[in-house]
Structure 1
Amino acid sequence: MKLEEQNVLFFVRTMGQGGTENVVLQLCEILNLNVNRIIVCSSGGINVKKLDSMKIKHYVIPDIVKKNPLSIIRIIAILRNIVKKENVTIIHSHHRMASFYSKIILNKQIIRVVTAHNIFQDKIRLTHWGYKDSHLLAVGEDVANNLTEVYKVPQKNISVISNAVIPFDEKIEKLPIFSKESNSILIGNIARLSEQKGLKYFIEASGIVSKSFPNAKFFIIGEGEDEEQLKALVKKLNLESVVSFLGFHNDIQNIISQLDFLVLSSLWEGFPLTPIEAFSVGKTVVATDIEGTREIVKNNYNGLLVPPKDSNSLARAILKLIKMNEFREKLEANSRRSYIEKYSFDFYKEQIINYYKNLN
């Protein structure tokens, strides 16, 4: 395939905060100079301005998870118009409903690619139909296994390219909230504020830790539908002086660089970017032992793994990293090694370009 002749449409639910949206931005950066044109369609979000800075056209569509007949008709009409107007040759979907709609338009001249970002167990018939006759790209081995075992996608239709992050080579911009006292420890959790991310258990663990180590400070970085509920929990547990909500930030590696370590309290994941972002700046993580995450975080090598939904185990692991400086430094060195050996952006870029060249 001649990449320079291709017009690529990235079809994603939103361009807001999240790992999927970050992957789309990375793909735009990689392919923007290699293909004829990139177009993105989504319901919008804070990252549309990044598309603007790359001079990539963005089309606004209704939220693709809405099932009312009017929305479905509008989405199909808008998608068909985009495909025709932009002479789209490749549709690259980043959501199961996006794959569903890209198949509905039934244009056999268009190559259909679907990236599976997460692990699911539901909507089996719909997902199987949407994925049929598509090129499937899984962001990790656990995601690929989910596609074959649950959705019966043939292995020959699946390629695996692990997520990566761009290296952080900038000067750290100090945030006043991260100014440290002599023996304080700064611990962060960077996530969408939703049930999936298990922040309830992170907050409960912070209360347990603060009783043993009062100088531990906990930060939640992100936005989401559970924000008020989580803030109410912090107030109920009298942890206002322990846990701070920092809202959305797009300078994630800059923030991680100023923390002592990260916590990932997720209940389920596909192949999360956050631990890779931590590794890229030489920080270790305490993470839940779930599919996807355990592909990246190796217990007692580059981080610590604990059972999900277990505040006490989470607290014990956090305290271990607080108290055992030499052990934490060993994990940090290995985390940086993991990034260089497995998740460097140059390697990811090479894989993506080769993948696109071989599409047919």
Structure 2
Amino acid sequence: MKIIHIAHHYWPVVGGLENVVRALAEGMARRGHEAHVITSQYGAGNRPREEVINGVYIHRVKSTRFGYPDLTYPLEVPGGILRNADIVHGHSQNSLFTVKMIEEAKRLGARTVVHFMAVDAFNDHPSRLIRLLAPRYGKRNVKKAIEASDVRLVKSFRDMEILRSKYSIKTEYIPDGIDEELLGKPNMAEEFRRKYDIQDPLIVYVGRLHKLKGIDILIKALAIATKEEPNLKAVIIGPGDQRPYRELANKLGISDKVLFTGFVDEDIKIGALDTSIALVLPSVSNYVEVFSLAITEAWARRKPVIASAVGEIPYRVKHMINGLLVPPRDSTALAEAIVTLAQDRELGRRLGAEGRKSVLTWDEIVSKLLSIYSCG
């Protein structure tokens, strides 16, 4: 099959959705399919407009952007590529780029698939302006994506429920996966401890350093938790501006208990998870939690998860079954959950082992998608 994936960013941009599209495209190319990615030029630096990486044909088109990545709009459409496709798979209806390309693919006669993400998820955004304007934009894009798609997928049971109840649309659940080698890697905790000279118990955050991710809530919770567990430390892994969080840790007198690593390679990230008591995700908005790959990675390493009950998280993390759920923006409740697992390691082992049962590999996800593509 000739399969085209649509996303406004692709490698060398690194992020959750970018990594997903790359895993799917490369996985399909390895199976002998002709895999393409149509994306914008944003984030590509000096890389060529057309290139092949790991068997995937990449097409970067001229685009313009209105402030936010989702507001990227293509200024050209590679009609010849779209016209001859067997399947065109668009990722995220919140992206202007994706919706426009899917509309064009549909007009040219291609079979179209849209992966819906964070449907109607702007209502709890901290910004009043976004709460006012974004819901209208979101509903517009959902309707356009529904009209232009032959197959509708979700990676969130929250989105499935909303599309069924509010838009009368039936969808299929296809989550994200992980690399199979992650399941069989030896424990890498000692390597991580040696690298960073840490022997104390740890909690770990993995993700972007963004205000919607609640990292300030995590730091405040750590300040509370260390009153009961004074040796506890936090490792914060991911790209973004560290300054406001370093300043907060310093203000709370716990700067020596927070390690910021920035972006790290996979081995260091896995070493941090292996070392940890738990992965902690204190997000404050539905919009940023469509499907947390960090949760899947933690479960793959048999680690429990402590997370805010926002977005898809409460549909996946079941309190006292495979993790602990806390209310968003509640640093006291988060601190109590952290202390619970710091003091009861056996509970953490049970929760992590239960989470491991739900983990799927990218190979399994690619098989599911290829089966869907082949139907109809």
Deviations 1:307-344 (A, max 9, x none): 111000000000000011222222222222333xxx34
Gaps of 5+ in 1: none
Confirm or deny that 1:257 pairs with 2:254. no
Change (3 A) 1:338 1:113: closer
Kindly state the Cα deviation for residue 84 of structure 1 after the two structures are TM-superposed.
1.9
Q: Which amino acid aligns with 1:165?
A: I
The alignment-based identity, stated in percent, is 24
Q: Secondary structure at the match of 1:255?
A: helix
2:283 paired residue number: 266
Deviation string 1:205-224 (CA, Å, 9 cap, x unpaired) is: 11111222121110111113
Task: Show the 5 A alignment for 1:249-328.
Answer: 249-251=264-266, 252-267=269-284, 268=286, 269-328=289-348
User: Residues of 1 paired with 2:311 and 2:332: CA distance?
Assistant: 21
The CA distance in 2 between the partners of 1:72 and 1:12, in whole Å, is 7
Does the CA-based 8 Å contact 1:257-1:283 persist in structure 2?
Answer: yes
1:112 corresponds to: 112
Residue aligning to 1:163: 176
Q: Is the 8 A contact 1:163 1:348 kept in 2?
A: yes
Amino acid of the residue matched to residue 246 of structure 2? Answer: K
Which secondary structure does the structure 2 equivalent of 1:132 belong to?
Answer: helix
1:126 corresponds to? 141
| Structure-2 separation of matches of 1:281 and 1:204 | 27
TM-superposed CA distance for 1:350, in Å, is 2.4
Question: Could you list the per-position Cα deviations for residues 157-212 of structure 1 after superposition, in whole angstroms to 9, with x for gaps in the alignment?
Answer: x221122212313345523345443xx21110111111221111011111111222
Alignment of 1:1-360 (within 5 A): 3=1, 6-15=2-11, 16-32=13-29, 33-42=31-40, 43-44=42-43, 53-61=53-61, 65-66=65-66, 75-77=74-76, 80=77, 82-84=78-80, 88-89=84-85, 90-95=87-92, 96=94, 97-105=96-104, 107-119=107-119, 120-121=121-122, 122=135, 123=137, 124-134=139-149, 135-150=151-166, 152=167, 154-155=169-170, 158-167=171-180, 168=182, 169-171=184-186, 174-175=191-192, 176-181=194-199, 184-224=200-240, 226-251=241-266, 252-267=269-284, 268=286, 269-339=289-359, 343-358=360-375, 360=376
Change over 3 Å in CA distance of 1:37–1:325 after alignment to 2: closer
**CA–CA distance in 1 between the matches of 2:81 and 2:318?**
47
RMSD: 2.9
In 2 relative to 1, CA 39–130 (structure 1 residues): closer, same or farther, beyond 3 Å? Answer: same
Shift of 1:266: 1.2
Change (3 A) 1:351 1:9: closer
- Amino acid across the alignment from 2:158: D
For the structure 1 residues 202 and 349, does the alpha-carbon distance in structure 2 shift closer, same or farther, using more than 3 Å as the test? same
Post-superposition shift, 1:114? 1.4
CA distance in 1, matches of 2:214, 2:179: 26
State the SS of the aligned residue for 1:238.
coil
Q: Which moved more, 1:201-210 or 1:287-296?
A: 287-296
The Cα shift of 1:245 comes to 1.0
Report how far residue 133 of structure 1 moved.
Answer: 2.8
Residue 353 of structure 1: how far off its partner (Å): 1.7
CA displacement at 1:27 relative to structure 2? 0.7
Q: After superposing the two structures, state which structure 1 stretch, 15-24 or 286-295, moved more.
A: 15-24
Given that 1:302 and 1:332 are in contact with CA atoms closer than 8 Å, whether structure 2 keeps it comes out as: yes
Unaligned runs of 5+ in 2: 123-134
Count of aligned pairs: 338
Query: What is the CA distance between 1:11 and its match in structure 2?
Result: 2.4
Aligned residue identity for 1:29: E
